[in-house]
Amino acid sequence: MKLKDVYTEQPGEDFIRKRDCLVALYWHNLISIPIVRLMQKLKLKVHPNVITIITILFGLLAGYFFFMNELVYGAIFFTLNMVSDTIDGKWARLTGKMTKFGKKLDITGDRICKISWYFGIWYSQYYHVKGFWWIGIVLIVAHYMLELFREKFIGWDFYKYVHHLYYSPFEDAYVTFLLAPLLTVTIHIPHYYVFSVAVMLLCIAYIRCYFVVKKKKMTIA
């Protein structure tokens, strides 16, 4: 199979999302599609839920290493979690094994992993720094308030209406749990500097997204 064919859906296939966030289109797909194609070629019988469980284990390991102040290992397992999280969905769509339980397992696992990342980062980067524990809590609460805003006023289907070149929760996660930890380790930039910028970018993005989605929904109606 030619390289171009690897990234191109064949007749009868529908497993690659055409509209998605920047990270998913140009990073996750770059890695996950060849892996899924290899699994297809090897005719593996692995169930997508098994991949989801492995993804959750990667995420929990990331949270553990963040907690232990092993930021590089935390960033590595975070990245493995994010990439693996796109493999199970593609594999489920390609093999026709999409189930309500699988979707619920994926969503629940994502939430548990994210909580472990925030707690791990907060404990190692804020709790042990005198006078900074509350800054971490404020930033985390602000992040979740923005997520509640998105869920209530924008919806989970916003990718249908907003162009993919957009600062989404995926970009936000990479800034918070990959870029910020690596900058802390390499050039000693405090995590809250980058985290604060990430929260502000997400706020701007959601405000923009709200008006774009609202306008397009009104046009459709």
Please provide the DSSP assignment of 111-128 as one string.
HHHHHHHHHHHHIIIIIT
**Residues 6 or more apart from 214 whose CB is under 8 A from it?**
none
Measured CA to CA, the distance from residue 212 to residue 154 in angstroms comes to 10
**pLDDT at position 54:** 97
Per the structure, the count of domains in the chain is: 1
Q: Which of 87, 93, 100, 99 is nearest to 14 (CA)?
A: 93
Q: For residue 48, is pLDDT > 70?
A: yes
Average pLDDT over residues 74-81: 98
Q: For residue 133, is pLDDT > 60?
A: yes
Q: Which two tokens stand for residue 201?
A: 């970018």
| Residue range 109-130, pLDDT digits in tens | 999 999 999 999 999 999 987 7
Q: For residue 162, is pLDDT > 60?
A: yes
Residue 164, sorted as left (phi over 0), alpha (psi -120 to 50) or beta, turns out to be alpha
Domain of 143, CATH number, reads 1.20.120.1760
**pLDDT at position 4:** 66
Neighbours of 71 (CB within 10 A): 25
Measured CA to CA, the distance from residue 125 to residue 205 in angstroms comes to 26
The answer to whether 52 and 106 are in contact (CB under 8 A) is yes
Q: For residue 12, is pLDDT > 80?
A: no
**pLDDT at position 215:** 77
**pLDDT at position 139:** 94
Range of the domain at 55: 3-220
Q: For residue 221, is pLDDT > 60?
A: no
**pLDDT at position 220:** 56
Average pLDDT over residues 9-14: 71
**pLDDT at position 157:** 65
**pLDDT at position 78:** 98
| Residue range 78-110, pLDDT digits in tens | 999 999 999 998 899 888 888 999 999 999 999
**pLDDT at position 214:** 78
Q: For residue 30, is pLDDT > 90?
A: no
Average pLDDT over residues 49-62: 97
Q: DSSP assignment, residue 160?
A: G
